[in-house]
Amino acid sequence: MKNITEAPFMVEMIRTTTNMYAHGWDERNGGNISLLLEEAESCEYLAGAEPLRSLPTGFTAPELDGKVFLVTGTGKYFKNVQYAPEVNLGIVRLEEGGAVARLLWGFADGGQFTSEFPAHMMSHAARLKANPQNRVVMHCHPSNLLAMTYVHDLDERAFTRTLWQMCTECIVVFPDGVGVLPWMPCGTNEIGAATARKMETVRLVVWPQHGIYGVGRDLDEAFGLIETAEKGAEIYMKIAHLPLLNTLSDEHLHQLEKRFNLKVREGYLS
């Protein structure tokens, strides 16, 4: 088999975790990523690999049975992934209806997948139904989005509209809007299920006073989705206390909708 640390998906995961840490989105061991691997891209690195050990997942997801994921580890720092990927990352295959994850590679120090693994898998299941191309779930703690949840109405429509009005690119990048949960304890099946329900219709879900979940076809798309929302939140936090002389009106947003042939979330524009 080929050296798995040289696999394109592994190289990109290492680059992404390093970049996210550099952005300040994943302090300490905060944040996590899971990438659904396609059989064609992983078989030459994993063909014939025997499970190293079995890990209970604490949930079931029959629709993900047999699927293989590259995932960050619990308690691991994103800044260390580039130096020891085999310790900080793992590749698992879900079996027994998702109740068990067979470790195929990684977590070499005896670790296991992120504590948010149930939330990731539930979101994967929801997004695969909505868009079979969505293979990445990304969770992080961008500072401006967090700050915004302390001072802004958490109504989804209001939150989305504010981000859309902050810069032209926001409505272009996430015309489906942003989902917002009430505050909930993290690392539970309850918050995972609530996030997955939002993921049926949106690709970004805000966890107030905590962080955000984003999904995409690949690591670049998921990263760019969060990056754009974070830029909108940064602008908002810089100007929220100032009198606005100009803004993006609904007329402007409708022009963007037409210009880029967007499917904007129904009822969010007047």
Report how far apart, in Å, the C-alpha atoms of 212 and of each of 1, 22, 46, 132 are: 37, 17, 31, 21
DSSP state of 217: S
Show the DSSP H helices in the chain as ranges: 8-22, 39-46, 85-88, 117-130, 143-151, 156-166, 168-173, 189-199, 219-239, 250-259
Contacts of 40 (CB under 8 A, 6+ apart): none
Say what the pTM is.
Answer: 0.95
Our answer to whether residue 230 is catalytic in this structure is: no
**Burial of 18 (C-beta count, 10 Å sphere; 0-12/13-18/19+):** middle
Per-residue pLDDT, 265: 97
pLDDT below 70 — which residues of the chain?
A: 1
The one catalytic residue in 116, 156, 221, 234 is 116
Q: What is the pLDDT of residues 1-56, one digit of tens each?
A: 578 999 999 999 999 999 999 999 999 999 999 999 988 788 888 877 788 999 99
Q: What are the start and end residues of each CATH 3.40.225.10 domain in the chain?
A: 1-115, 116-270
Total Cβ atoms within 10 A of residue 229 = 26
Per-residue pLDDT, 214: 98
CATH number of 1-115, picked from 3.30.70.600, 3.30.70.100, 1.10.3720.10, 3.40.225.10: 3.40.225.10
Q: What is the pLDDT of residues 173-195, one digit of tens each?
A: 999 999 999 999 998 999 999 99
CATH number of 116-270: 3.40.225.10
